[in-house]
Amino acid sequence: MAAERELVRWSAARLAEALAAGEVSSVEATQAHLDRIGDVDADVHAYLHVAGDDALVRAAEIDRQRADGTAPGPLAGVPIAIKDVLCTSDMPSTAGSRILEGWIPPYDATPVARLRAAGLIPLGKTNMDEFAMGSSTEHSAYGPSRNPWDLTRIPGGSGGGSAAAVAAFEAPVALGSDTGGSIRQPAAVTGTVGVKPTYGGVSRFGAIALASSLDQVGPVSRSVLDAALIHDVIGGHDPNDATSLDERWPSFADAAREGAASGSLAGLKVGVVHQLDGSGFQAGVRQRFGEALKRMAEAGADIVEVQAPHFEYALAAYYLILPAEASSNLAKYDAVRFGLRVDPGGSTVEQVTALSREAGFGPEVKRRIILGTYALSAGYYDAYYGSAQQVRTLVQRDFDACFTQADVLVSPSAPTTAFRLGEKIDDPLAMYLNDITTIPANLAGVPGLGMPIGLAPEDGLPVGLQVMAPLREDARLYRVGATLEAILEREWGGPLLAQAPALGSAASRSDRIRTTPGTAPAPGYGTEPDGGTL
Amino acid sequence: MTDAPEPVVITAADVQHLAGLARIALTPEEIEHLAGELTQIVDSVAKVREVATPDVPATSHPVPLVNVLRPDVPGAVLTQQQVLSGAPDASDGRFRVPAILGEEQ
């Protein structure tokens, strides 16, 4: 039992080695994580669905293949959590929405299919803001997830479930998706690692679409190397996604290993984006960011300031482009082909569609669909959507200019540490500001990595660093991230997450903070609390 | 658009119209609430017009690809049963829907 508890703290890389050496079986590793989920997930609520016995059956199958010498790859037998935005043919895929409650897709998303082919064991589906619209998981139709560092605080969003799952040792690694920061911002507030790959680097086939020109699937983990290992598995060209880049990618795991081993950033030009340098951010975020820059400089990096004058307009452009694309993508929920149907009888199909969407969508989804419909409507299209697309060009040009002066760009991953559940739920504009540092990368398609750089002195909560690289240069993120991670972990005497409080049965009574009820999104101006069973 | 941005007010009637276009049967309370929120949000995002001068081209995709084609042969497709597996209602191998036309039509 003690050994099992220990297993859940292992990285995917260490588990893979132990599995290959026969020191541990996949059934043991999977069972240990299922036990951990059973112990802590009532408090954390990272999962919407747990695979349970199905995961153990698959693990036993991998153990047999390993014994026969036919294990499908180095990560075979390693458990993984999957964000509920990704279609899984054997588990419900709801994207955090009532409108897809219980829906089991007839196919796997490409990243999921690739995980299965590599022998990884899906543990379950993780919670998220409905259709990935949010920065806190409070917009999930199934209730929020909680931050393992403090159960009264948000785990970030939209991928708060995946980040909380790895931070609470309920999975060694997970998949996320990042449209405006949904991998990197949760990583920041939970003290974990997450990567948004270059747009087109990972297939979007089977990822339930939010905004197609911004969405990107990526890895969530507790170490830079683990993220790289998963990226190596899920990445690469997929003919089923017309925006998938058809090219050969280097091994990101090799890049991470090189970075960790070298210990040096000599010759690396690190650009601090003046517009994202943290002025106006929480004091502890600014302090740790400044210290991280100092460590990089000590390791030989050349720190330069760069200007991205149009980043100031990125948030506004994003909140036009995203709703516009979302309003179009979400038109598919018509109560005909799949999902919820609310039919009071005697209504036309159009009325049934409208009633079903009223009942099945939460307040944030409605807000963005209506906003997107407005931005795309005749008479406003040029002024709003058209202008936003022009800003997108300007943001790309800013990145191009910055990357002539620096090899990577850095900023804090988020303006604050984890805020309290309920704190921003009634103020959409305040919620949107959480992604101010992460949105420019999505608009330009460039890759970004989020990693922990310490705890804010004022609240003891994790602070994240964002590292961005030019298009297709994802390997650079892993190399630089692994070097900095090794330096910081030496300084901390281990991973940052070793400092996180105990959870579940291991926690003392006073550690186990019970959250107050009423933290879920208020139903007042949206759907009925039960999802609208008319 | 380089004309000076003027304050936009989104009325309840506007929201009702948009909700019709988006096929969402909003309640009167939702419409009232959204009108206020959207006015505030649109006011805040309208700043994109400040820098969107006519000489700046629009970008729709971050990494533009052209002529993404595949050989014109049947691909791996879902079976009829798979396609209908998630439908709220189906019969005779088809999606079953409520009436297409209302009485007055």
Q: What is the pLDDT of residue A506?
A: 82
Rounded to the nearest 5 degrees, what angle is found at the Cα of A119, between the Cα atoms of A115 and A123? 70
Establish if B67 belongs to a structural domain: no
Cβ-count burial A58-89 (b if 16+ within 10 Å, e if not):
bbebbbebbeeeebeebbbbbbbbbbbbbbbb
Establish if B1 belongs to a structural domain: yes
Q: Distance between alpha carbon A460 and the CA centroid of its chain, in Å?
A: 22
As a whole number of angstroms, the distance between CA A38 and CA B85 comes to 31
Q: In the beta sheet, which residues pair with residue B94? A: B91
Residue of B2, B8, B27, B48 to mutate when probing chain A, most A C-beta within 10 A:
B48
Establish if B75 belongs to a structural domain: no
Is the CB of A106 less than 8 angstroms away from the CB of B85?
yes
Is the CB of B65 less than 8 angstroms away from the CB of A200?
yes
What are the residue boundaries of the structural domains of chain A, listed by start? 2-267+421-506
Q: B40 lies in which domain range?
A: 1-54
Which listed residue (A140, A145, A158, A177) is catalytic?
Answer: A158
Q: What is the pLDDT of residue B4?
A: 52
Q: H-helix or E-strand containing A302?
A: strand A302-306
Q: What is the DSSP string of A418-463?
A: PPBTTSSTT-HHHHHGGGTTTHHHHHHT--EEEEEEEE-TTT--EE
SS3 readout for B65-90: CCCCCCCCCCCCCCCHHHHHCCCCCE
Is the CB of A390 less than 8 angstroms away from the CB of B57?
yes
Q: Which residue has the tokens 């409108």?
A: A99
Residue of A238, A361, A390, A424 to mutate when probing chain B, most B C-beta within 10 A:
A390
Residue A345: closest CA among chain B residues belongs to which residue? B98
Residue B57: closest CA among chain A residues belongs to which residue? A390
Tell me the CATH number at B30: 1.10.20
SS3 readout for A308-343: CHHHHHHHHHHHHHHHHHHHHHHHHCCCCCCCCCCC
Between A431 and B104, whose confidence is greater? A431
A83 carries an active-site annotation: yes
Q: What is the DSSP string of A368-427?
A: HHHHHHHHHSTTTTIIIIIHHHHHHHHHHHHHHHHHHH-SEEEEESSSSSPPBTTSSTT-
**DSSP state, A219?**
E
Q: What is the pLDDT of residue A279?
A: 79
- For the beta carbon of residue A473, count every other beta carbon within 10 angstroms: 17
CATH of A2-267+421-506, one of 3.30.70.3270, 3.20.20.140, 3.90.1300.10, 3.90.1150.10: 3.90.1300.10
DSSP reduced 3-state for B35: helix
Output Rg (C-alpha) for chain B, integer angstroms. Answer: 23
3-state helix, strand, coil in chain B (%, to 5): 35, 5, 60
Do A465 and A454 form a contact (C-beta atoms < 8 A)?
no
Establish if B41 belongs to a structural domain: yes
Q: What is the DSSP string of A47-65?
A: EEEE-THHHHHHHHHHHHH
Is the CB of B82 less than 8 angstroms away from the CB of A107?
yes
Residue B67: closest CA among chain A residues belongs to which residue? A242
* Structure token pair of residue A139: 């917009």
* Structure token pair of residue A286: 């600014």
Q: What is the pLDDT of residue A1?
A: 45
Establish if B38 belongs to a structural domain: yes
Average pLDDT over every residue of B45-74: 92
**DSSP state, A514?**
P
Q: What is the pLDDT of residue B104?
A: 64
DSSP reduced 3-state for A350: helix
As a whole number of angstroms, the distance between CA A462 and CA A464 comes to 7
pLDDT band at B5 (very low <50, low <70, confident <90, very high): low
Which listed residue (A11, A83, A196, A327) is catalytic?
Answer: A83
Establish if B14 belongs to a structural domain: yes
Do A155 and A129 form a contact (C-beta atoms < 8 A)?
no
Residue A382: closest CA among chain B residues belongs to which residue? B1
Helix-helix angle A12-20:A26-44, to 10 degrees: 150
Residue A216 burial (C-beta neighbours within 10 Å; 0-12, 13-18, 19+): buried
Average pLDDT over every residue of B42-50: 93
Is the CB of B95 less than 8 angstroms away from the CB of A337?
yes
Do A506 and A347 form a contact (C-beta atoms < 8 A)?
no
Q: Write the Ramachandran bin of A512: left for phi over 0, alpha for psi from -120 to 50, otherwise beta.
A: beta
**Which segments of chain A have a pLDDT < 50?**
1, 4, 509, 512-534
pLDDT band at B76 (very low <50, low <70, confident <90, very high): confident
Establish if B29 belongs to a structural domain: yes
What is the number of structural domains in chain B? Answer: 1
**DSSP state, A282?**
-
Q: Write the Ramachandran bin of A75: left for phi over 0, alpha for psi from -120 to 50, otherwise beta.
A: alpha
pLDDT band at B8 (very low <50, low <70, confident <90, very high): confident
- For the beta carbon of residue A404, count every other beta carbon within 10 angstroms: 9
Rounded to the nearest 5 degrees, what angle is found at the Cα of A150, between the Cα atoms of A145 and A154? 40
Do A454 and B69 form a contact (C-beta atoms < 8 A)?
no
Rounded to the nearest 5 degrees, what angle is found at the Cα of B71, between the Cα atoms of B65 and B72? 115
- The complex's ipTM works out to 0.93
A279 carries an active-site annotation: no
Cβ-count burial A499-531 (b if 16+ within 10 Å, e if not):
ebeebbeebeeeebeebeeebbbeeebbbeeeb
- Strand pairing class (B90-91; A448-455): unpaired
Closest CA to A81 of A108, A32, A115, A42: A115
Do A141 and A531 form a contact (C-beta atoms < 8 A)?
yes
Q: Distance between alpha carbon A519 and the CA centroid of its chain, in Å?
A: 22
Is the CB of A393 less than 8 angstroms away from the CB of B102?
no
Q: What is the pLDDT of residue A77?
A: 98
Contacts of residue A255, defined as CB under 8 A and 6 or more positions apart, other chains included, come to: A228, A475, A476, A478, A479, A482
Is the CB of B63 less than 8 angstroms away from the CB of A243?
yes
**DSSP state, A86?**
B
Residue A427: closest CA among chain B residues belongs to which residue? B37
Rounded to the nearest 10°, the torsion over CA A516, A137, A128, A27 is -50
Q: What is the largest CA-CA distance in chain A?
A: 73
Establish if B100 belongs to a structural domain: no
- Calculate the average pLDDT of chain B: 90
A135 carries an active-site annotation: no
DSSP reduced 3-state for A231: helix
Across the A:B interface, residue pairs with CB atoms under 8 Å apart total 195
Is the CB of B24 less than 8 angstroms away from the CB of A199?
no
Distance from CA of A421 to the nearest CA of B (A): 21
Q: Shortest CB distance from A429 goes to which of B40, B57, B82?
A: B40
Q: Which residue has the tokens 């990693």?
A: A451
